[in-house]
Amino acid sequence: MQRRGFLRSGVSAAALVLGACGTSDDQAGSDEAKLMVSDPWVRTTTGKKDPMMTGAFMDITNPTSEDRVLLKVSTDASDHTELHKMEKVDGTMVMSEAKDGITVPKEGHRHLVSGGYHIMIMKLEKELKVGDEVKITLEFDKGEKIEVTAMVKEFVEEEDHYHTPKP
């Protein structure tokens, strides 16, 4: 009963996100610069070779005067996410887990893209169709959590990024 399994895990993920929101102590009126996330989206799994996994992409802006690190991500689409990086090793793009997290440089940006650092959503039990929404919660090194709603989209250039360039 895959479907029932999905419903259960979906509910527990949503509860976790709510719990996280309840503990945040927002300093209203503070002029302290804050991390920002923009343009989040998730690649559709419709018609993909491996519909159990996909990537999430976005831009993270760090206006503060210190490097910050994205340590953990959770979603309401699956309980299984990883932070990944892609690097060129001997001329081939290789994907691996970013075990130390993803650094967002001070007074700078980090673009999460399919050919670089990105978020991997795994063990999906439901198709993510174009137009669906996925709630994503990002956790950073100083404990702040940012929740965003990512739209599911098609990514037509994917082959160019994920596959080894032709010799």
Catalog residues that contact Cu ion under the rule CB under 5 A. Answer: 84, 95, 120
Nearest approach, Cβ of 79 to Cu ion (angstroms)?
17
Quote the CA–CA distance of 95 and 34 in Å, as a whole number.
Answer: 30
Of 156, 162, 142, give the one whose Cα is nearest residue 33. Answer: 142
CB-wise, 20 or 101, nearer to Cu ion? 101
**Nearer to Cu ion by C-beta: 32 or 157?**
157
Residue 87 vs 107, nearer CB to Cu ion: 87
Q: For 21-47, b where at least 16 C-beta lie within 10 A, e where not — what string? A: eeeeeeeeeeeeeebebeebbbbbbee
Nearest-CB residue to Cu ion? Answer: 84
CB of 85 to Cu ion, least distance (A): 8
* Smallest distance, Cu ion to C-beta of residue 84, A: 3
Comparing CB distances to Cu ion, the nearer of 36 and 113 is 113
Tell me the closest approach of the beta carbon of residue 86 to Cu ion, in angstroms: 7
Query: What stretch of H or E contains 129?
Result: none
Q: Which residues touch 95 (CB under 8 Å, ≥6 apart)?
A: 84, 85, 86
Please say which residue, 68 or 84, places its beta carbon nearer to Cu ion: 84
Could you tell me the smallest distance in angstroms from the CB atom of residue 146 to Cu ion? 20
- Give a three-class secondary structure readout of 2-52: HHHHHHHHHHHHHHHHHHHHHCCCCCCCCCCCCCEEEEEEEECCCCCCCCC
